Structure 1
Amino acid sequence: MSSKGVALVTGAAQGIGKAVALRLADDGFDVVVNDISANSDKLDSLVDEIQNRARRSSKCIADVSQEDQVNAMVEMVVQRHGSLDVMVANAGVTGGLSLVEATSEQWDRIMNINGRGTFLCYKYAGIQMIKQGRGGRIIGASSMAGKQAFASQAPYSASKFAVRGLTQAGALELGAHSITVNAYAPGAIDTPLMASTEAATGMAILEMFKEMSPLKKFGVPEDLANLVSFLASKESQFITGQTISVNGGTFFD
């Protein structure tokens, strides 16, 4: 079965990243999945799921905040699969930290993964796509908190605002090479990360946002995968520099 190209999805072991990887496989892409070593077994299972969809797949363990590892990850994708056509820089962390209580170490961790990690994925994907000379799709993960800051989420909100800026700058710089750069901004999505956040804070976050939504529902990872599917397609060729909200109407922009 012919392939639409090769996609790389970071932070793919669970939640939104996993849903995106499976959807891109269903769309006809060969998919390389990335996460940290603690999630290696989950990546193995995901690779099996993708291969069962008659698509080529492999895993790549890497920390997206480390430049040498991101560079090596992109090189590995090209060596094993021949090209890189879609980069989904999904990996990220959250943290309920207020402006006055967050330590500089906590700030650095969140910014290194969410901000620096997205920058490095954009950078090395862009370099490879320029080298290939046939365009490409770069897609990042912002957040509703990257459009309207949340109280007690200062470092996280700042990191997700940074993704929007990187996305706009990347679109301006890479457009001449027929590379589009966009991002998604999820609201409350039912994921393992959200479950851990609810457990840590003792707050029913999903239910709170469900009541705020005109649709009276919260999202699931497939809602983001549907958007990424479109942004990765040829049909999205006139959309770039955008950070698109997927939040059930809890925030309008």
Structure 2
Amino acid sequence: MSAASSRVAQIAEHVGGHTRVALVTGAAQGIGLCIALRLADDGLDVAVNDLSSKVDLLEEVVLKIREKGRRSIAVPADVTQDQQVKQMIATVAEKLGGLDVMVANAGILLVKPLLETTPDEWDRSMTVNTRSMMLSYKYAAEQMIAQGRGGRIIGASSIAGKKGSIGLPAYCATKFAVRGLTQSAAEELAKHNITVNAYAPGIITTNMGADLAAGFESLRIDTAVPVAEPEVVSSVVSFLAKPESYFITGQSLSVNGGAYFD
């Protein structure tokens, strides 16, 4: 057996033979929904989160996951709120037996030039797109460390986190921040056998992708770039969540069809 294969086997054994548990935020629709279903197809039990106003959509996702033969619960919460995130993760660990994969996917989009962006709009983007990431990373890491079996933390960055764009100053700033948080957390958590990575999509055919295209059109910004279905993102998250990805950490993997080369 090669060293890499041996290491993967050790990790799988260290997990203890139990079914791994994932939590996906922002999972009521779009990329988050697709990720949740893909992880269920991969054999994980999956908890899904979104705002309480979307609880009906969350319950539909729960049913789809259970139809695949996996356990699932809905854990509605505002992921910008410290105690709600802490309680959300505690609930997942209690009801599903732990937490092995945290996918911090929730986020919002603001398409507006810098000169028109208000301080309140800037602060809301930072709160939803970066504070929520910090809280999700922090409390997921605490749970994984307490379990002692390592884990995977995966966050949502963007092509806008690698290249600035007209009309996206707030969004770009938040997604660049996700990359910095991811790299720092990867350094800190490596000793606990926890990898921390991010995915950085280009334009994806979701409601947010449609909002981005509409915003660019209103600002007369050229959007002649590749577009893809959310499954291309969920496939990358699927790989990052697997035991054999143990040697990948601190990375923000581009999924943009060549729209931008790292």
* TM-score (structure 2 length as normaliser): 0.90
SS state at 1:51 partner: helix
Q: Given the superposition, is the C-alpha separation of residues 206 and 18 from structure 1 closer, same or farther in structure 2, using an over 3 Å criterion? A: farther
Choose from 230, 244, 250 the match for 2:259. Answer: 250
Q: Given the superposition, is the C-alpha separation of residues 205 and 233 from structure 1 closer, same or farther in structure 2, using an over 3 Å criterion? A: farther
Whether 2:189 is the aligned partner of 1:174: answer yes
Contact 2:216/2:223 (8 A) holds in 1: no
Q: What is the match of residue 215 of structure 1?
A: none
Contact 2:216/2:222 (8 A) holds in 1: no
Structure 2 gaps of 5+ residues are 1-16
Choose from 134, 147, 171 the match for 1:132. Answer: 147
Q: Given the superposition, is the C-alpha separation of residues 14 and 242 from structure 1 closer, same or farther in structure 2, using an over 3 Å criterion? A: same
Choose from 182, 185, 192 the match for 2:200. Answer: 185
Aligned positions of 1:206-245 closer than 5 A: 208-210=224-226, 218-245=227-254
Contact 1:3/1:29 (8 A) holds in 2: no
Contact 2:62/2:73 (8 A) holds in 1: yes
- Separation in 2, partners of 1:8, 1:171: 19
Q: For the aligned residues, what is the CA RMSD? A: 1.6
Q: What is the match of residue 11 of structure 1?
A: 26
Instruction: Report percent identity of matched pairs.
Output: 54
- Separation in 1, partners of 2:60, 2:100: 23
Whether 2:33 is the aligned partner of 1:30: answer no
Structure 1 gaps of 5+ residues are 211-217
SS state at 1:174 partner: helix
Q: Deviations over 1:183-207 (max 9, x none)?
A: 0000011001112333455459896
Q: Which is further off, 193-202 or 24-33? A: 193-202
Q: Given the superposition, is the C-alpha separation of residues 243 and 100 from structure 1 closer, same or farther in structure 2, using an over 3 Å criterion? A: same
Contact 1:143/1:187 (8 A) holds in 2: yes
The alpha-carbon deviation at position 79 of structure 1 amounts to 1.1
- Separation in 2, partners of 1:170, 1:201: 33
Q: How many residues align?
A: 245
* TM-score (structure 1 length as normaliser): 0.93
